[in-house]
Amino acid sequence: MTFDLSARLAERRAAHLHRQRPLLESPQAPLARVDGEELLAFCSNDYLGLANHPEVIRALRDGAARWGVGGGASHLVIGHSGPHHELELALADFTGRPRALLFSTGYMANLAAVTALVGQGDTVLEDRLNHASLLDAGLLSGARFSRYLHNDADSLAKRLEKASGNTLVVSDGVFSMDGDLADLPALCARARRQGAWMMVDDAHGVGPLGATGGGIVEHFGLGLEDVPVLVGTLGKAFGTAGAFVAGSEELIETLIQFARPYIYTTSQPPAVACATLKSLELVRREHWRREHLNRLVARFRQGAEAMGLTLMDSPTPIQPILVGDSARALRLSSLLRRRGLLVGAIRPPTVPAGSARLRVTFSAAHSEAQVERLLEALADGWEELNREPGEDA
């Protein structure tokens, strides 16, 4: 008996679900060289335009000169360097929490937090549209795992009534494929009423949301009692790499002692922590980035709605255009690329069947003129798509 991998791949191609990796040949920036073409990109999560910021680059270079390149070992052996420690202190201050703990990736942070906090005899309740890392963490924890209806506090309440043991409610802060916000005030109230803990993965909210970029918790004015477990990533709005969990002294010490993805992995390069300290400074200091980003999003939504495109309920830099059919979504992405723009088509299984979309994302590095160019290209591409033979408008 052998694995028939070719048949699986052929099935995926036939369903218009085959994925390909664009080859980026330039730094993260609105104008990018991809697969040998110069394109205007609207598909990066570099929301505040810091991934190629000269001060962040300089901090990385100076950090490597001072601390070398590799982390060398896990944090618990000899891999917890000065920059790591300084960054954890800065992130704790930034989030208004007693402590923060660094991780190499957001996926690892989510796996670590969930699996360290619950196990057999406990309960994990998650939003149906949570990120794959959160869903995987729930399944791997060994706890009783259930998914409530998207952003539905009443659906959560029904599951909370049946929960047993320690109960952890888990939600994205900003849903990465829809761009909408979790209804945290309602979800947190239900969780607290039942004695459950709330964990929020704010990967796409930290940076763009909140008066100081503190994310969805700051946006809603919530505290440690409402959201005991807060996860944030550093490879999106911060423009660097890694992730963190912020919370109480007891939470962080529990993760250090029991979270296998933290204990058994080499720390991130200390120079990356140096770069993140600089980007955190910029996030807190340069409020104009969030203000400019909000203006771009508002203009895009106004123009896209005027041409009849179906947008999703998102106030964030993630602005999906709902197409529905995977083949049509791919075709619209191709038509934009022909016009010099790069916008990715997102298809199942990343999103539910029948909800393929173009995931447009904005950065503070985009200009107003570039948004106008996107709207013009969308108008032309949408018109061409809907007049092609055999396609329904």
Active-site amino acid positions: 176, 204, 236
Cα angle: 273, vertex 239, 20; to 5 degrees: 120
- Give Cα separations from 388 to 246, 331, 375, 381 (angstroms): 51, 10, 20, 11
- Give Cα separations from 208 to 215, 365, 376, 386 (angstroms): 7, 13, 26, 34
Contact 219, 210 (CB under 8 A): yes
Contact 163, 205 (CB under 8 A): no
- Please report where in the chains the tokens 């940076």 appear, as a residue: 207
**Rounded to whole angstroms, how far apart are CA atoms 63 and 71?**
12
Contact 381, 309 (CB under 8 A): no
Q: Which of 149, 150, 137, 144 is nearest to 162 (CA)?
A: 144
Pairing of strands 144-148, 123-127: parallel
* DSSP structure class, residue 316: S
Could you tell me where the beta strands, DSSP code E, fall in the chain?
31-34, 37-41, 99-103, 123-127, 144-148, 167-172, 197-201, 229-233, 243-247, 318-324, 341-342, 345-346, 356-361
> At how many degrees (to 10) do helices 270-285 and 82-95 cross?
30
